[in-house]
Amino acid sequence: MAAIPVVCIVAKSSGTGKTTFLEKLIRELVERGYRVGAIKSTSEFEIDKSGKDSRRYAQAGAEIICILGHERYAYIQKTPEKVKLDEVVGVFKDVDLILAEGFKDEDKPKIEIVRKAKGTDVFSSGKNLIAVVTDVENLSVEVPQFGPDDFKEVAELLEKHFLKKEIDTEMDKPHLTHFNEQGRARMVDVTGKGITEREAVARGEVRMAQETLQLIAQGKMKKGDVLAVAQVAGIVGVKETSRLIPMCHPLSIGSINIDFTLDYENNKVLIECQVKVSGQTGVEMEALTGVSIAALTIYDMCKAVDKEMVIENIRLVKKTGGKSGTFIRKGER
């Protein structure tokens, strides 16, 4: 039998709203048809009283609750009749997921609560941190970022990672959504997704000779204004992404902004492409395509004088909206 997944809801200090968020998360998961167990560690061993966390978890729909004290522990489980001792052993075997409040030192997947009033540092790190719930805007983390009221989105994240994981039994690898049951390419069905505001920012660089950068800055390239042409090309690239990348959906792009920075110290043109849309799928590929086409255009405009130019470091630095929440690449401003 596969082990029941355990996810810890942690915070650096008390008063961050862990219990309230966990209570809402339990209720959302139960409404989606999952059986949820809850674990709470406490120094005050009062259980199942009105207002106590154990009662709140039970009212939210948790099937089994374990309260851990310093010297003892107790299970709270609704049963239709008197239960024998042997049946109490392994009481968590009939749930789909266990949510544990606290236990930040455990080697388990963690969702960290970060509240502005308690500081903006994220203490969890590494592979165990799967998401951050915060009221701090643009917190620099490499995992999905949600607001304090985004318990539905967090429930979807838990579904994706722990409750509805699809495995390719033939290859023993994660199921890729761009392939159908016959292993052939397909476009993902997004018709059931809600329309949300989405944004993506991508960056890239073109490294060149110092003389080439000076010609660009002075507008002396024979083909014309390099950056003006590259900007238009990047915008066209964003709009044509679905024609270039086979499984990308055609989108009604709401906004495209492409900026260039001349880095004289490193002899580079730095490119940033920001794309916004109100739709059912994200615009990461559009932003990356915009940067790529702008970079290729710079190369084309300048190749007569510098064939050793290098297009490099094209990467997604930020995305917001959608089921996976906010992503911000570590180290990027």
Which residues are marked as active site?
300
Q: Report the alpha-carbon distance of residue 273 to residue 319 in Å, rounded.
A: 12
Write out the two tokens for 201. Answer: 């920012």
* Terminal-residue alpha carbon distance, the chain: 45
In terms of Cα–Cα distance, which of 25, 196, 6 is closest to 103? Answer: 6
Closest CA to 113 of 257, 10, 249: 10
Tell me the three state secondary structure of residue 314.
strand
| Residue 102 burial (C-beta neighbours within 10 Å; 0-12, 13-18, 19+) | middle
What is the SS3 string spanning 186-237? Answer: CCCCCCCCCCEEEEEEEEEEEECCHHHHHHHHHCCCCCCCHHHHHHHHHHHH
Side chain identity at residue 221, one-letter code: M
Rg (CA), the chain: 25
For residues 294 and 234, give the distance between their C-alpha atoms in angstroms, rounded to a whole number: 4
| Tokens 């300048």, residue located | 302
